[in-house]
Amino acid sequence: MVIINADCGKGGHFCHSYWDFMCPPVSGSFVPYCSGQSITITGPPSTPGAPAFTYQWYKHRGTRSIIPGATSQTLTTTPAVGDTFSVYVNPQAPLNCGFFMPFVPKDTCFNPNGVNEIFNSAASIFPNPSSGNIFLDFGNKNFGKAKVSFSDVIGSVLLETTISASGKQMLDVSGFSNGIYFVRINADAGSVTKKIIIHH
């Protein structure tokens, strides 16, 4: 919108006008991504001919928290499932009508069966067979937290724990007898079951 006050000629006249604006709520934008991968979110550009906008990014997971140092038009981040983001945009004088713009990451790699294909392919266990410790490897991705259950061939759960689903995580299985076991990994990004052999 452009508002112009003008004299009817090049005389000594002047004019005043008064305008009252209300900034409406800004609807959210879905941002496609795959779990464990980074995304770049972009806020609205400055208005041509007006002072540059200033930006401040926030992360939402239950409550809104400021992201320190995130004051540019773009934000690059690796969202966990459930994260949302918003940017506070301040157009500055003479506009002075700041507003929040929300962004909702949406995992587009989640298949209809509810198993995240990236999570399934990223999670691996080694060594196999193992005589002591095993490692759960999520590669260079971060899937947040994961619940791990260790069960025998008849389905009895022998161990349950919560780990960070990123990088390499160690589990001590030296106390288990020789045999075949199943390791179930459940995370917000998906779930997968791996077979492991213990042989001392």
Q: pLDDT digits over 68-96, tens only?
A: 999 999 999 988 877 889 999 888 766 66
pLDDT, averaged across the chain: 80
pLDDT at 112 over 50: no
Domain boundaries, the chain: 29-107, 117-198
Is 117-198 in the same CATH topology as 29-107? yes
CATH entry, 117-198, from 1.10.600.10, 2.60.40.3080, 3.30.230.70, 3.40.50.720: 2.60.40.3080
Length of the chain: 200
111 or 77: which leads in pLDDT: 77
Does the pTM surpass 0.75? The reply is: no
Q: What's the CA dihedral at 75, 78, 84, 85 to 10 degrees?
A: -10
In the three-class reduction of DSSP (H, G, I as helix; E, B as strand; rest coil), residue 121 is classed as helix
* pLDDT, average across residues 149-168: 87
- Which CATH architecture is the domain 29-107 placed in? Sandwich (2.60)
